[in-house]
Amino acid sequence: MNTQTIAEWLYLPQEFLRITIILLLAWLLMGLSRKLIRLFRNYMSARAETVEETKRIETLARVFRYTATVGISLVAGMLALSEMGFSIAPILGAAGVVGIAVGFGAQSLIKDYFNGFFLLLENQIRQGDVVEVCGKGGLVEDVTLRYVRLRDYEGTVHYIPNGLITTVSSRSRGFAHAVIDVGIAYRENVEEAFEVMRKVAGGMRASETFANKILGEFEIAGVDSWADSAVILRCRFKTVALEQWGVRREFLLRLKEAFDEAGIEIPYPHLTLYAGRDKQGKAPAFRISEAPRA
């Protein structure tokens, strides 16, 4: 073994030492960044005035943690390659060329990240919201720069790329309205039905269970339409966000009992048949044939 070979072997541990130091510093920076992001999240959450602001802070903290991890890993990897004798400049140049080529073929992926950035920046979607996007509705379990993960009422999980999201319908911002359509028979008195509805709504507002869920006065819009077999009455409650469905179900349950007690008919589809008339205004009688007896 000549002198040059020995020198190379003695020089090799120094490279490993520097690589080890780079990886150790990267690991420490990751831990420090996560701790700083956690402290910032706790500080901002303590100053948040609403639950909505807290949800937004949680979502942004997760995205910042992910971005910091990826950035530190890339820098540490490039420095480690440099210490191993690889030239970074050609790698960066090749990465730029490859990036352009991949960009043409991965435009949808790039669009996902751009849309995800603005979704978070404009506070359109937060973890814990109930939203409807791309024809799918459910609870937002995860929001990243790449996709939004929803879980619907049946428990099915939907992964929706951010690039496909053009409209976000949120059901959990500030307050909601429980809109209720009630059908009564045509022969019933509408004002009497309104009075029963107001009485039921007043009972719900006075109950301990729903007093804190209903925010405003019970509103009756009036007669909304004439259906085939019923007069449709429309009303609504102003409720706490995400409580509109529970309030609606309870109101319909109590209203059914109140209508039964008041003798107000809740109709089902039926047909009224009229006999045709001749030119003299007369009509033949309906003939009902009896089944032959055994």
- At residue 21, the pLDDT reads 79
Region 14-22: mean pLDDT is: 74
Ranges 21-30, 49-58, 181-190: which has the least confidence: 49-58
Whether residue 186 is found in the same domain as residue 254: yes
Token pair for 79 = 């420095």
In a domain, residue 244? The reply is yes
Where a domain ends, among 151, 170, 189?
Answer: 170
Query: What residue type is 65 in one-letter code?
Result: R
- At residue 118, the pLDDT reads 82
Share of the chain above pLDDT 70, in %: 76
Token pair for 248 = 């609606």
Whether residue 131 is found in the same domain as residue 65: no
CATH of the domain at 133: 2.30.30.60
Burial of 260 (0-12, 13-18, 19+ CB in 10 A): exposed
- Does residue 125 or residue 195 have the better pLDDT? 195
Whether residue 154 is found in the same domain as residue 185: no
Whether residue 202 is found in the same domain as residue 158: no
Please tell me the pTM assigned to this model.
Answer: 0.60
- Does residue 111 or residue 10 have the better pLDDT? 111
Region 133-137: mean pLDDT is: 90
- pLDDT greater than 80 at residue 16: no
Contact (CB, 8 A) for 68 and 30: yes
User: Which range of residues forms the domain containing residue 251?
Assistant: 175-262
- At residue 151, the pLDDT reads 93
Place of tokens 């435009």: 107
Ranges 50-54, 147-151, 247-251: which has the least confidence: 50-54
- Does residue 41 or residue 130 have the better pLDDT? 130
- At residue 272, the pLDDT reads 59
Region 106-126: mean pLDDT is: 79
In a domain, residue 280? The reply is no
Give how many domains the chain has, as a whole number. 3
CATH of the domain at 19: 1.10.287.1260
Place of tokens 């960044």: 33
Confidence bin at 269 (pLDDT 50/70/90): confident
Distance CA 231, CA 225 (A): 6
Region 31-39: mean pLDDT is: 85
- pLDDT greater than 70 at residue 164: yes
- At residue 17, the pLDDT reads 75
Whether residue 164 is found in the same domain as residue 181: no
Region 199-217: mean pLDDT is: 92
Ranges 22-26, 49-53, 93-97: which has the least confidence: 93-97
Distance CA 129, CA 115 (A): 18
- At residue 261, the pLDDT reads 94
Distance CA 78, CA 91 (A): 9
Ranges 63-72, 96-105, 118-127, 256-265: which has the least confidence: 96-105
Mean pLDDT comparison of 31-40, 188-197, 281-290, highest-scoring range: 188-197
Ranges 31-40, 52-61, 100-109, 137-146: which has the least confidence: 100-109
- At residue 41, the pLDDT reads 79
Whether residue 155 is found in the same domain as residue 195: no
- At residue 111, the pLDDT reads 82
Query: What residue type is 105 in one-letter code?
Result: G
- pLDDT greater than 60 at residue 15: yes
pLDDT in tens, 74-85: 787 777 777 776
Region 36-55: mean pLDDT is: 75
CATH of the domain at 243: 3.30.70.100
